[in-house]
Amino acid sequence: MSIFSGNTNGHHSLHLVRWTAIVVAVWVALSLITGLFNRETSHAARQAAPAPRIAAVATPAPASTASPSPARGATTTVAPIALGPALVPPQAPPAHLLPGRARVALASAQHQAGPWVALGAVNVRAPTAVITTRTPKALAAVAPSSGLIRLRWSGWIDATAVGSYTLAVQVAGGPATVTVTVDGVQAVRVARSCGWMGVCPSSPTSGAGSIGLAAGWHEITATAIAPAGQVATATLYEIAPGGAAPTVITTSAPAVTGATP
């Protein structure tokens, strides 16, 4: 009886060892696959994104000029109604704008709803409007290691023509939500999410919108929110009135040096 019991225990121990080996092998395989995808998305984030194919953006329908029928014997005066979207008026830019520059402000929070804590701001070189959630070196000492980060990238653009501008944003790499505004008016918002086990899509996520701009200077702002430590790259494009192909936006920024709290 004791011999039979001992063989049973040995058989169970052998099964336990086999199942443990299978679980460890599966875990190692999944780790290798995840690491491969993360390296691919990180590499994609560092590469210059090609211009996206921007579909036609619907413009607001013109306001109707129809008026209700007046009462019999009454007289009415119909005021003219402006057709099409309102144009965002030009702004007075700061003095001493430097081309190829942008301003980056860093903030952190535990939740997207906030409260957000401002950590600092710094001028960066920006030959083109390519925004990354990687913290600028000048702010690395205050960068959070957990929670969410918010990078607010801003610069000034000179709209040489009046009319409807198409703005597009293309996000690659890790998860992030990017919102683009011009003079405080939202033009486009793109939310890039990553699926199971944090594996992000290999292709970038794109979005586009239109905004009417009067000729002159305007401040454009791209706000990127992402988990701390995740690297996403957003590229901003525009199609000017009468244009056909998207071009990467270039900006100017005031001559301010150093980080500010």
Q: Give the number of domains in the chain.
A: 1
Tens of pLDDT, residue by residue over 40-79, are 444 444 444 556 665 545 443 333 333 344 344 444 333 3
pTM equals 0.69
- Is 260 domain-assigned? no
- Is 18 domain-assigned? no
Tens of pLDDT, residue by residue over 108-141, are 999 988 899 999 999 999 999 999 999 999 999 9
Say yes or no to pLDDT of 145 above 80. yes
Amino acid at 197: M
- 95 or 39, which is more confident? 95
In this structure, what DSSP letter does residue 16 have?
A: H
- Is 210 domain-assigned? yes
Neighbouring C-beta atoms of residue 163, cutoff 10 Å:
16
**Burial group, residue 216, by CB count within 10 angstroms (0-12, 13-18, 19+):** middle
3-state secondary structure of 228: coil
Q: Are 168 and 55 in contact (CB under 8 A)?
A: no
Element (H, E) at 10: helix 2-46
What's the mean pLDDT when you consider all of the chain? 78
- Is 127 domain-assigned? yes
Pick from 125, 118, 85: nearest CA to 102: 125
3-state secondary structure of 185: strand
Residue that the structure tokens 């000179």 belong to? 158
- Is 109 domain-assigned? yes
- Is 192 domain-assigned? yes
Neighbouring C-beta atoms of residue 10, cutoff 10 Å:
10
> How many whole angstroms separate alpha carbon 101 and alpha carbon 153?
10
Sign, Cα dihedral of 122, 126, 131, 135:
negative
Report the chain's terminal Cα–Cα distance, integer Å: 78
- Is 122 domain-assigned? yes
- Is 120 domain-assigned? yes
Q: Containing domain of residue 179, as a range? A: 97-254
Tens of pLDDT, residue by residue over 206-230, are 999 999 999 999 999 999 999 999 9
The CATH number assigned to the domain holding 111 equals 2.60.120.380
Say yes or no to pLDDT of 181 above 60. yes
Neighbouring C-beta atoms of residue 199, cutoff 10 Å:
15
Q: What are the residues whose beta carbons fall under 8 Å from the beta carbon of 240, sequence distance 6 or more?
A: 159, 160, 161, 163, 165
